[in-house]
Amino acid sequence: MNARTDLSAANSAGLQDASTPADTSDTSTPADVTVATLEAASTVSGPVAVPAPRQGRRRGLRRIAALAMIAGPGLVAANAGNDAAGIATYASAGSQFTYGTLFFMVLVTIALVMVQEMAVRLGAYTGKGLGALIREQFSLRLTALAVGCLLLANTGLVVSEFAGIGAAFDLLGIPKWAVVPPAAVLLWALVLFGSYRWAERIFLVMSLAFFAYPIAMILGHPRWGEVGKSLLVPHLQPSSDFILLAVALIGTTVSPYMQFYAAAGVVDRGAKPEEYKLIRADAVLGAVFACLISLTIIVATASAIGGTGPLQSAAEAARALEPVAGPGAELLFAFGLLGASALAGAVVPLSASYAIGEAAGVERSVSRRFRDAPLFLGVFTAQIALGAIVALTPVDVIQLLIGTQVLQGLISPIVLVYLLVLTNRRSLLGEAANSRRYRIAATTVVAGVALMSTILLVQTVLGWCGLA
């Protein structure tokens, strides 16, 4: 995010020397287009006799380079969703309902793909973040409602991230009071004084430990017939526990901060409308990748401890990794939990800082110094400090993590309505606005999320009244 990535320059460098005109009927995917461009650029000076194995290696490197060019805010935002709270929620779904939430997660995956695509499209075609567009297109009261909802949801989420960091070290026998304050200072310093982009890569690498879940899923020998049936056949339970967890799954997968961060990240990196294909690929691939990991967490946990009820500790969630890590399951889980929590611990407060800075119309960028963007970096600092302080209190970590996702799920419909209205407006996006079919599909997604949140609210109120 500090370095402005000019993707169009990379593409044009490979095309300027080419004599063949562009084929406007090409329907290649962004990754294929980029790979083709890189290959054209490397061969424009004439054929070179290269052994077949070397050609294969170069082609592989070009494809890796293409994927690296695609990777951006969409991938980061989606992966940040697989944070401490997300892992606890997915693992709890597997331990409580085994494979019963898989079909619901398929629907949530479709929703996330559409929502993230709309967010980055707004950023690419308007050059403005979601907070700035809400301020320009809606009244002051509605702007305050959107920002207020985001702040409310993010405050609990930042606390849960630092609680996740504490839980990761607790698995290693290190008390949270010894690690949470230094972790807070480190995250704060990386954004304010260091290279957040560099730190972001480190956190993503640490989060790769959760690739162990797909392996654990296979080695855990799940009942594949039931898994396939649960993925394809709708399964909903009328119980309050199932509805509560379903809303938590929505909250942790389609978190409001992800849309604010994705749009703002596209703007902050200086992306242009002509780069939209790469930006869209980043958002879609990021969303699908994150949800696939989520599904494997559910299946792996269901295979290991399915049917045992709600999780009581991070150690129970780590048990799902025993098929691949054996006695080292807790160590592997702690490593991945630390990386995921640290990544989200930076991304979540930044999303709120972007939103508030955009709504106030002031400077907002991680490349600015504190004196240049005091509100933006001040809000970031306050959230880090508050999250770390509350995380040091004696809280039930698992209940805190799942509870924050329920809150996210209740607030998500409000933010999604703003996103839907903005992407429907041709006066704002022109030809890039939602088509009729896309508008219908997106409206269905928002209505479905709102319905689940409403059911949970009604059940909660009835419970308070002793009627449920």
- Check residue 455 and give its pLDDT: 81
Residue 440 in this model has a pLDDT that exceeds 90:
yes
- Which has the closest alpha carbon to 62: 26, 31, 20? 31
Instruction: Using a pLDDT cut of 70, give the percent of the chain over it.
Output: 78
187 lies in which domain range?
71-464
What does the buried/exposed string (b/e) look like for 38-58 if buried means 16 or more CB atoms within 10 Å of the residue's CB? bbebeeeeeeeeeeeeeeeee
Question: Confidence band (pLDDT; 50, 70, 90) for 444?
Answer: very high
Residue 41 in this model has a pLDDT that exceeds 60:
no
Q: Where is average pLDDT lowest: 31-45, 156-170, 332-346?
A: 31-45
**CB of 399 within 8 A of CB of 245?**
no
Residue 19 in this model has a pLDDT that exceeds 70:
no
**CB of 402 within 8 A of CB of 248?**
yes
Residue 46 in this model has a pLDDT that exceeds 60:
no
Q: Is the residue at 198 inside a domain? A: yes
Higher pLDDT, 244 or 419: 419
Q: Is the residue at 389 inside a domain? A: yes
Residue 107 in this model has a pLDDT that exceeds 50:
yes
- Check residue 225 and give its pLDDT: 92
On average, the pLDDT of the chain sits at: 78
Gyration radius from the chain CA atoms = 22
Q: Which domain CATH number covers 129? A: 1.20.1740.10
Q: Is the residue at 331 inside a domain? A: yes
Instruction: Using a pLDDT cut of 90, give the percent of the chain over it.
Output: 18
Q: Is the residue at 43 inside a domain? A: no
Residue 6 in this model has a pLDDT that exceeds 70:
no
Reported as a single tens digit per residue, the pLDDT across 55-86 is 555 555 555 444 444 455 656 666 666 777 78
Q: Is the residue at 152 inside a domain? A: yes
Reported as a single tens digit per residue, the pLDDT across 181-237 is 999 998 888 777 766 667 667 766 766 776 778 888 888 889 999 999 999 988 877
- Check residue 155 and give its pLDDT: 82
- Check residue 289 and give its pLDDT: 85
Q: Is the residue at 35 inside a domain? A: no
- Check residue 13 and give its pLDDT: 38
Q: What are phi and psi of 11, to 5 degrees?
A: -70, -45
Higher pLDDT, 303 or 201: 303
Count of structural domains within the chain? 1
Classify residue 218 as left (phi > 0), alpha (psi -120 to 50) or beta. Answer: alpha
- Residue written as token pair 């749009």: 263
Residue 28 in this model has a pLDDT that exceeds 50:
no
Residues whose CB falls within 8 Å of the CB of residue 134, separated by 6 or more in sequence, listed in order: 142, 143, 146, 147, 358, 359, 418, 422
Classify residue 159 by burial, with Cβ atoms within 10 Å: 0-12, 13-18, 19+: buried
What is the average pLDDT across 313-328?
A: 81
- Check residue 405 and give its pLDDT: 78
Q: Is the residue at 11 inside a domain? A: no
Q: Is the residue at 55 inside a domain? A: no
- Check residue 268 and give its pLDDT: 74
SS (H, E, C) the chain: CCCCCCHHHHHHHHHCCCCCCCCCCCCCCHHHHHHHHHHHHHHCCCCCCCCHHHHHHHHHHHHHHHHHHHCCHHHHHHHHCCCHHHHHHHHHHHHHHCCCCHHHHHHHHHHHHHHHHHHHHHHHHHCCCHHHHHHHHCCHHHHHHHHHHHHHHHHHHHHHHHHHHHHHHHCCCCCHHHCHHHHHHHHHHHHHCCCHHHHHHHHHHHHHHHHHHHHHHHHCCCCHHHHHHHHHCCCCCCCHHHHHHHHHHHHHHCCHHHHHHHHHHHHHCCCCHHHHHHHHHHHHHHHHHHHHHHHHHHHHHHHHHCCCCCCCCHHHHHHHHHHHHHHHHHHHHHHHHHHHHHHHHHHHHHHHHHHHHHHHCCCCCCCCCCCCCHHHHHHHHHHHHHHHHHHCCCCCHHHHHHHHHHHHHHHHHHHHHHHHHHHHCHHHHHHHCCCHHHHHHHHHHHHHHHHHHHHHHHHHHHHHCCCC
Question: Confidence band (pLDDT; 50, 70, 90) for 433?
Answer: very high
Reported as a single tens digit per residue, the pLDDT across 211-224 is 778 888 888 889 99
Residue 40 in this model has a pLDDT that exceeds 60:
no
Reported as a single tens digit per residue, the pLDDT across 254-279 is 888 888 888 887 887 777 888 888 88
Question: Confidence band (pLDDT; 50, 70, 90) for 450?
Answer: confident
Question: Confidence band (pLDDT; 50, 70, 90) for 156?
Answer: confident
Rounded CA gap, 77 and 259, in Å?
8
